[in-house]
Amino acid sequence: MNTQIKNYVTETEEQRVNRLVEQNMGLVKHIISRMEIHLPSGMDKEDLVSIGNFGLIEAARKYDLSKNTKFQTYAYIKIRGSVLDEVRKFSFGGQSILRKQKKLMDTYKLLQQRFSRMPSDEEVAKELGLSMIKFDELIKDTNGASLLSLDQYVESEESIRMIDMISHEEDHLEDIIQGEQISSLSKSLDRLPQNEKLVLSLYYEQELSLKEISLIINLSESRISQIHKKAILKIKNDIEG
């Protein structure tokens, strides 16, 4: 008899929940570590770990083996959903954040068309009528939009099975890498400043956490997050523009 089925037959509900939670605690930290670079400024990562743990417990209680879905896949959706709910509460002006990001992206696109090249941060700040300090604050404010705009899936059996077949990562860089865009992506990456290319490489290729990247580059985690955000905005505008 399959071990998983045997456990379900012999365990009480409480034993099953405890086992699933204990076996998958690492999943919560993994999800948070891959989402943290998109989090709004000021969010406490440890608070999100607690929220994610509640999502894991809920997943363990509601998991139905008969649906033929891996528990890790089902739990991933529940944990990530719990964290996104918390991001919405923290960023209670969710639509306002998305509007700010759109204005920022539109400005990058406008200047790119005007100059026939990728604009510098200083040029974007000037166009927006902002000092560099205010511009950096805007980048911080719009960080949560990355997560809010990605939360579009429908939690159904079909969507869960689909997620079961693909990577669990939903990072922006991966969203825009599609067959016909690879050449454009390569050119966009080449046009980025060296520090932005380095951050993207360490985060997406080496899969390092914000903390690990900050130690390597000797910059704060919040600064690394800003650099990442700027790079993604530039690439998206370059490809979509």
Query: Three-state SS across 65-89?
Result: HHHCCCHHHHHHHHHHHHHHHHHHH
Q: How far apart are CA 93 and CA 98, in angstroms?
A: 9
Rounded to 5°, the CA angle 211-213-219 comes to 85
The first and second tokens of residue 15, run together, are 């034993």
**CA dihedral over 221, 192, 94, 152, signed as positive or negative:** negative
**pLDDT tens digit sequence for 164-191:** 433 333 444 444 444 445 556 677 788 8
Q: How far apart are CA 79 and CA 34, in angstroms?
A: 13
Please compute, for residue 118, the number of CA atoms within 13 A of its CA located in the half-sphere on the CB side: 19
Question: Which residue's entry shows tokens 């930290």?
Answer: 29
Tell me the domains of the chain and their CATH numbers.
1-91+154-169 (1.10.1740.10)
Rounded to 5°, the CA angle 237-240-241 comes to 70
pLDDT for the residue numbered 58: 92
- H/E stretch holding 108 reads helix 94-115
**pLDDT tens digit sequence for 212-228:** 899 999 998 888 888 88
> Do residues 192 and 235 make contact, with C-beta atoms less than 8 angstroms apart?
yes
pLDDT for the residue numbered 158: 42
For the entire predicted model, the pTM comes to 0.55
Per-residue pLDDT of the chain (241 residues; tens, 9 = 90+): 456 555 655 778 888 889 999 999 999 988 888 777 777 767 777 888 899 999 999 999 998 877 778 888 889 888 988 888 887 777 655 567 667 878 888 898 888 889 888 788 899 999 999 999 888 888 877 766 555 554 443 344 444 443 343 333 344 444 444 444 555 667 778 888 899 989 988 888 788 888 889 999 999 888 888 888 888 888 777 766 5
Query: Three-state SS across 114-138?
Result: HHCCCCCHHHHHHHHCCCHHHHHHH
Cα distances from 227 to residues 104, 149, 162, 174, in angstroms, run 15, 19, 32, 17
> Do residues 163 and 174 make contact, with C-beta atoms less than 8 angstroms apart?
no
Q: How far apart are CA 144 and CA 139, in angstroms?
A: 10
pLDDT for the residue numbered 187: 75
pLDDT for the residue numbered 6: 56
